[in-house]
Chains A and B, each alone.
Chain A
Amino acid sequence: MAPRRGTTRRRFLQTSALAVAGLGLPRAVAAAALDLKLKKPIKIGCQSILSGPLGGYGEFMRKGAALAMDEINAQGGIGGSPIELNFRDEELKVDVGVKNARYFVEDWGADFLIGIDSSAVALAVGEIMPSLNRVLIVTHGATEKFNEDLVFKRHVRQCFRVCVPVYQDGIASALVAKDLPVKRWATISPDYEYGHTSWKMFRAYLKRFKPDVEFVGESFAKFGTVDFSSHISKVMGLNPEGIFSTEWGGEAVTMVKQAKLFKVFEQTKAFMIGMGSAMDVLQGLGADYPDGVWASGRYYFGYPDSPENKRFNDAFKKRWNTYPSYPSETAYTALFALKKAVEKARSIETEKVIAALEGLELDRPAGKCVIRKEDHQAVYAVPWGQIKHDAKFPMPTLANLKVFPTDEYYRKPPFAPVEG
């Protein structure tokens, strides 16, 4: 419960930290020039998956958001007000996600909402944003229905997203796959919105790029799958040459380990995992991650080679003693996008912040990025690459990076239906 009166210990610590930081940082003085005189902290409700077998994943989102909060508050906050974060576990459940969003806005007094890992939760929370009337910035839920249907077609303007959608998993992957010596593809993917929509896109676009491919089978694993053996044996029974997967978190770790036992990597020519370069998967598999697996994410710590990215990596490692995963970057970016938009709008009013976010350009760790006005989708390029074990790093990394111009794989308004 947030105490309501007087100076609490936390507020005292925050303000003293601010004061101390202000002494050494000329930037803080510059930022302090804009004072919205809100006389209250700007409250941001964050939700992600923080429990269960995928909980390691949400932890990275929390770390990225916390780092951004420290940096923003050290720079004088947003428009003169420090920011305050509140984290809740989304559990990847629609009802929990909606309840969290309502709690944040109606009970806790959130000014903005960020986070959400599940596509289904992102869509459900998106539905209630007009009634809550706050800006929501999604940092992971990746379904194209969020930007294409909810924002572009149905004009739910409170919804934004700073992570690349399934275009990365379903279309950029097809750009990689078209040059691979594989004709027969199969999938092992999650049995929910994200898994189905990525596979559908992959098939539709790969067929367009390379008409002689075949899709020989699919096995969809429910959320909470602890053993992939029967999925693997089912799919391998269809004799595929390549496996496409959008398993993530601990489930991706288990799937790869078991696929290794079944000698899948010896029997196929390519294995692609859309979220395979997420730090929790790289660290979780460690030496067990087979060389040559194609992996991507929504940001990869080694790309791009820019001062912003280097600074982010250094700060993250210093703060948390680990390399950042992509939800760390997207949560970090969401908070800095809010800072930039509020200071541009000179207001925290939803309508004005929406207008400021539309078309906003950001120099984020993941690279240059623009938030499209039409569908409120951040556009930036994320690499695909092949798993490699490099003694310089404590975990496997990506080699042979393939980065495609965003024009080639971000679907554009008016969003023609995905055929296939």
Chain B
Amino acid sequence: MLFQGLVGLSEAMYLWLVAAGLSLIFGVMRVLNFAHGSLYMLGAYFAWVAFRISGSFWVALVVGPLLVAAAGWVLEFGFLRLILDDAVKLAFGPVYQSPPTPAALSGAVRIGRSILPTYHLFILAVGGLVGLGLWFLLEKTSFGLIVRATAADREMARALGVRSSRLFTGVFVLGAWLAGLGGALSMPVRAISPGMGEFIIIEAFVVVVLGGLGSLRGAFLGAVLIGLLHAYGLLFMPVFELALAYMAMAAVLIVRPWGLFGVREA
């Protein structure tokens, strides 16, 4: 019972990473980045390439998302957009790739009568750490101050001397890195294929709308909520499982059209 929730939470962490970047970019730039699912896919592919070259999952985990961040930087300038899936198909072919799970993380721990993979614990830890890191970045650094100021009032921030174009690039690159990290983490446990971003992006949109556009806290809680609804939905209402996320989103939007933690538009 509790165990099912834990598994749901670990699935939610991928969603959180993708949704965090999506929400961050929206908060500052006021654009819904439709290429975000493709960045997640790129994260998996770049990590896979890095893995094939280095033979190390850890190198891949660092290098993959950094490359996606670099791609994000290029994307922000308007190149490449929307052709990523086709480019990946051309470069890597339509065949599924699935490098092995790193030995250090392919064990499992016993919880009661159930078995939880070490990899899932790892994902939970990474998701939590990224959450803490983002909180620190936004609340405790001058970069975060500027981000928050711009998100709150763009005109005012600009009037006060914030160079928005550089900020936008920085935020976009960070958002791309987060999606790339999600993709890189999925590399050894999910089949990698062109178009793998299509499905995660739909859920990430639900998460971001549910949590409130531009709110990282909202994205985190939204992802957790969707993950739990999915895991427990399968257990108790398998027929409606698919609808639960949308029902939750609709319910929240009726009461709070700006989402759980979003800011009401003036």
Residue numbers of A with Cβ under 8 A of B are 50-53, 55-56, 59, 191, 218-220, 222, 224-227, 229-234, 236-237, 249-251, 253-254, 257-258, 260-263, 267, 280-281, 283-288
Question: Which residue on chain B has the smallest CB distance to residue A56?
Answer: B94
Question: Which residue on chain A has the smallest CB distance to residue B232?
Answer: A230
- CB proximity of A239 to chain B, nearest CB, Å: 8
- CB proximity of B7 to chain A, nearest CB, Å: 4
* CB contact under 8 A between A220 and B100, given known A51-B195, A261-B106: no
A56 vs B88: C-alpha distance when bound (angstroms): 13
The interface residues of chain A lying within 8 Å CB-to-CB of B198 are 52-53, 224
A262 vs B188: C-alpha distance when bound (angstroms): 14
The interface residues of chain B lying within 8 Å CB-to-CB of A56 are 94-96, 193
B234 and A288 contact, CB distance less than 8 A: no
- CB proximity of A169 to chain B, nearest CB, Å: 20
Contact for A286 among B7, B98, B195, CB less than 8 A: B98
B234 and A231 contact, CB distance less than 8 A: yes
Does chain A have a CB within 8 A of B3?
Answer: yes
A220 and B14 contact, CB distance less than 8 A: no
A254 and B191 contact, CB distance less than 8 A: yes
Does chain A have a CB within 8 A of B137?
Answer: no
- Chain A: interface secondary structure? helix
Does chain A have a CB within 8 A of B133?
Answer: no
* CB contact under 8 A between A261 and B234, given known A226-B200, A237-B3: no
Contact for A262 among B97, B115, B193, B196, CB less than 8 A: B115
- CB proximity of A189 to chain B, nearest CB, Å: 12
A232 vs B4: C-alpha distance when bound (angstroms): 10
B side interface size, CB within 8 A: 43
The interface residues of chain A lying within 8 Å CB-to-CB of B217 are none
Contact for A233 among B7, B98, B193, B200, CB less than 8 A: B7
Does chain A have a CB within 8 A of B36?
Answer: no
A281 vs B199: C-alpha distance when bound (angstroms): 20
Does chain A have a CB within 8 A of B210?
Answer: no
A261 and B8 contact, CB distance less than 8 A: no
The interface residues of chain B lying within 8 Å CB-to-CB of A191 are 242
A53 and B193 contact, CB distance less than 8 A: yes
B96 and A284 contact, CB distance less than 8 A: yes
A104 vs B113: C-alpha distance when bound (angstroms): 55
- CB proximity of A44 to chain B, nearest CB, Å: 22
The interface residues of chain B lying within 8 Å CB-to-CB of A261 are 101, 106, 108, 117, 119-120, 189
A344 vs B150: C-alpha distance when bound (angstroms): 74
B96 and A280 contact, CB distance less than 8 A: yes
The interface residues of chain A lying within 8 Å CB-to-CB of B115 are 236, 262-263, 267
B195 and A253 contact, CB distance less than 8 A: no
- CB proximity of B13 to chain A, nearest CB, Å: 10
B4 and A237 contact, CB distance less than 8 A: yes
Question: Which residue on chain A has the smallest CB distance to residue B195?
Answer: A52
The interface residues of chain B lying within 8 Å CB-to-CB of A253 are 96, 98, 191
> Which residues 86-111 of B sit at the A interface, judged by CB distance below 8 A?
89, 94-98, 100-101, 106, 108
- CB proximity of B125 to chain A, nearest CB, Å: 16
A230 and B194 contact, CB distance less than 8 A: no
* CB contact under 8 A between A258 and B3, given known A53-B199, A226-B199, A237-B114: no
Does chain A have a CB within 8 A of B128?
Answer: no
A56 vs B3: C-alpha distance when bound (angstroms): 34
Question: Which residue on chain A has the smallest CB distance to residue B86?
Answer: A51
B120 and A229 contact, CB distance less than 8 A: yes
A284 and B195 contact, CB distance less than 8 A: no
The interface residues of chain B lying within 8 Å CB-to-CB of A219 are 234, 238
- CB proximity of B230 to chain A, nearest CB, Å: 6
- CB proximity of A415 to chain B, nearest CB, Å: 28
The interface residues of chain A lying within 8 Å CB-to-CB of B25 are none
The interface residues of chain A lying within 8 Å CB-to-CB of B195 are 51-53, 55
> Which residues 185-242 of B sit at the A interface, judged by CB distance below 8 A?
186, 188-191, 193-196, 198-200, 230-231, 234-235, 238, 241-242
B98 and A236 contact, CB distance less than 8 A: no
* 18 extra interface residue pairs, beta carbon distance < 8 Å, beyond A230-B4, A263-B115: A51-B194, A56-B94, A56-B193, A218-B238, A226-B196, A233-B4, A233-B114, A236-B114, A237-B114, A253-B96, A253-B191, A257-B101, A260-B106, A261-B101, A261-B117, A261-B119, A284-B191, A287-B100
Contact for B191 among A51, A232, A251, A260, CB less than 8 A: A251
Question: Which residue on chain B has the smallest CB distance to residue A50?
Answer: B94
- CB proximity of B108 to chain A, nearest CB, Å: 5
Question: Which residue on chain A has the smallest CB distance to residue B203?
Answer: A226
The interface residues of chain B lying within 8 Å CB-to-CB of A237 are 3-4, 114
> Lowest 9 CB-CB distances: which A-B pairs, in order?
A284-B96, A261-B117, A253-B191, A250-B191, A224-B199, A230-B231, A52-B195, A233-B7, A59-B94
Question: Which residue on chain A has the smallest CB distance to residue B10?
Answer: A229
The interface residues of chain B lying within 8 Å CB-to-CB of A55 are 89, 94, 193-195
The interface residues of chain A lying within 8 Å CB-to-CB of B10 are 229
Question: Which residue on chain B has the smallest CB distance to residue A281?
Answer: B96
- CB proximity of B91 to chain A, nearest CB, Å: 14
The interface residues of chain B lying within 8 Å CB-to-CB of A222 are 241-242
B94 and A53 contact, CB distance less than 8 A: no
A290 vs B41: C-alpha distance when bound (angstroms): 26
- Most chain A C-beta atoms within 10 Å of own C-beta, residue among B7, B193, B234, B235: B193
B190 and A227 contact, CB distance less than 8 A: yes
